[in-house]
Amino acid sequence: MTLLWIALLPLLGVLVPAFGARLKRPACSLITALLPAVALLLTLAQIPALADGETLRFAVDWVPALGMEFAFRLDGLSVLFNLLILGIGLLILLYAHYYLAPEEPYGRFYAYLILFMASMVGIAMADNLLLLWMFWELTSLSSFLLIGFWSHRSDARKGARMALAVTGAGGLALLAGLLLLGDMVGSFDMNRVLASGDIILADDRYPLALGLILLGAFAKSAQFPFHFWLPHAMAAPTPVSAYLHSATMVKAGILLMARLHPAIAGSELWTLVVTLVGMTTLVYGAWFALLKTDLKGILAFSTVSHLGLITALLGIGTPMAVLAALFHILNHATFKAALFMSSGIIDHEAGTRELSRLGGLRRAMPVTALLTSILAAAMAGVPLLNGFISKEMFFTSSTEASMLGGISWLLPVLATLGGILSVAYSLRLVYAVFFKPAREAPPKSPHEPPRLMRAPVELLAVLCILVGVLPSPLAGGLLDLATRAVLGEPMEFHLAIWHGVNLPLLMSVIALVAGVGTYLGHRYLRRFHKGFKPVDARQVFEGSVQYVGRHAETLLGRFDNASLQRYMSLLLCTALVLAGLGLFMMPDLAGDQPTGEVDGVLLTGAILLMFSGIATVATHRYRLISLLMLSMVGLLVSLTFARFSAPDLALTQLSVEVVTMILLMLALFFLPQKTPRESSMPRNLRDGVLASLLGTVIASLNYAVLTRDNASISGFFIDNSVPGGGGHNVVNVILVDFRGFDTLGEITVLAIAGLAILKLLNRLRLFMPHSDSEGRLWSPDRYPMILTTISQALLPLALLVSVFIFLRGHNLPGGGFIAGLITAVALILLYMARGVEWAQARLDFQYQPVAITGVGLATLTGVGSWLFGQPFLTSSFGHFHLPVIGDFELATAMIFDLGVYLAVVGATLMILANLGKLTTPHRPTKDSGTAAPARRRVDGKPLCHHHRRAQRLWPLSDTTGQDLPRSGRSDPVVLCGQPLPVLHGRTDHRRRCRRQRRRQLCRSAPPGPGANRHRHRLRHDCLRGHPGHARPGRYGQ
Q: What is the pLDDT of residues 294-325, one digit of tens each?
A: 898 999 999 999 999 999 999 998 999 999 99
One-letter amino acid identity for 225? P
Are 438 and 484 members of one domain? yes
What burial class does residue 445 get, using C-beta atoms within 10 Å of its C-beta: 0-12 exposed, 13-18 middle, 19+ buried?
exposed
**Same-domain status, 788 and 801:** yes
Q: State residue 126's pLDDT score.
A: 93
548 within domain boundaries: no
Q: CA 317, 322, 323: angle at the middle one, nearest 5?
A: 150
Asked whether residue 341 falls in the same domain as residue 209, the answer is no
Q: Are 756 and 911 in contact (CB under 8 A)?
A: no
Last residue of a domain, one of 866, 893, 923: 923
Round to whole Å and give the CA distance between 946 and 465. Answer: 70
- Separation CA 89–CA 963 (nearest Å): 44
Low-confidence ranges of the chain (pLDDT < 70): 17-22, 531, 533-535, 562, 673, 765-781, 844, 916-1037
SS3 label, residue 68: strand
Helix, strand or coil, per DSSP, at residue 1024: strand
CA dihedral 394, 399, 403, 404 (to 10 degrees): 120
Are 240 and 272 part of one and the same domain? no
**Residue 887 in contact with residue 881, Cβ under 8 Å?**
yes
Q: What is the biggest distance separating any 2 CA atoms in the chain, rounded to whole angstroms? A: 107
Task: Provide the domain limits for residue 960.
Answer: 937-1013
Residue 742 lies in a domain: yes
Q: Which of 194, 190, 195, 201 is nearest to 135 (CA)?
A: 190
Residues 6+ apart with CB under 8 A from 976: 954, 955, 957, 1011, 1012
- What would the DSSP string read from start to end of 128-143? BHHHHHHHHHHHHHHH
Which residues are registered as beta bridge partners of 877? 891
How far apart (Å, rounded) are the C-alpha atoms in residues 245 and 84? 12
**Together in a domain, 226 and 356:** no
Which among 506, 525, 543 is the end of a domain? Answer: 543
Question: Are residue 95 and residue 218 in the same domain, yes or no?
Answer: yes
**What are the residues whose beta carbons fall under 8 Å from the beta carbon of 886, sequence distance 6 or more?**
none
Residue 687 in domain: no
- Considering the domain architecture, whether residues 253 and 275 belong to the same structural domain is answered as no
Residues 115 and 20 in one domain: yes
What is the separation, in whole angstroms, between the first and last Cα of the chain?
A: 49
Contacts made by residues 802-806, CB under 8 angstroms, sequence distance 24+: 802/826, 805/651, 806/897, 806/898, 806/901
200-203, long-range: CB < 8 A, 24+ apart = 200/263, 200/264, 201/264, 201/266, 201/267
Q: Is the dihedral of CA 865, 869, 872, 874 positive or negative?
A: negative
Q: Do the domain assignments include residue 613? A: no
Give a yes or no: residue 643 inside a domain.
no
315 plus 170 within the same structural domain: no
Contacts of residue 460, defined as CB under 8 A and 6 or more positions apart, other chains included, come to: 91, 334, 335, 337, 338, 375
Q: Which long-range contacts (C-beta less than 8 Å, at least 24 apart) are formed by 793-796?
A: 794/826, 794/829, 795/826, 795/827, 795/829, 795/830
Q: In 707-846, where does DSSP find H-type helix?
A: 714-725, 730-733, 740-761, 785-808, 816-834, 836-843
- Provide the domain count of the chain: 4
Tell me, what's the pLDDT at 998?
Answer: 55
What is the predicted pLDDT for the residue at 461?
A: 95
Claim to verify: residue 276 and residue 225 sit in the same structural domain = no
Q: Which residues contact 646 (CB under 8 A, 6 or more apart)?
A: 731
Would 867 be classed as within a structural domain? Answer: yes
- In angstroms, rounded to a whole number, what is the distance separating the alpha carbons of residues 72 and 189? 10
Give residue 664's pLDDT: 83
Residues 164 and 249 in one domain: yes
Yes or no: say if 119 and 138 are a contact pair by the CB < 8 Å rule.
yes
CB-CB contact of 978 with 1030 (8 Å): no
245: closest CA among 59, 126, 80, 92?
Answer: 92
In a domain, 329, yes or no: yes
Q: Indicate if 748 and 882 belong to the same structural domain.
A: yes
In single-letter form, the type of residue at position 859 comes to: T
Phi-psi region of 183 (alpha: psi -120 to 50; beta: other; left: phi over 0): alpha
Decide which of 865, 892, 923 is a domain's last residue: 923
In a domain, 1032, yes or no: no
Q: How far apart are CA 749 and CA 727, in angstroms?
A: 26
State the CB neighbour count (10 A cutoff) for residue 688: 11
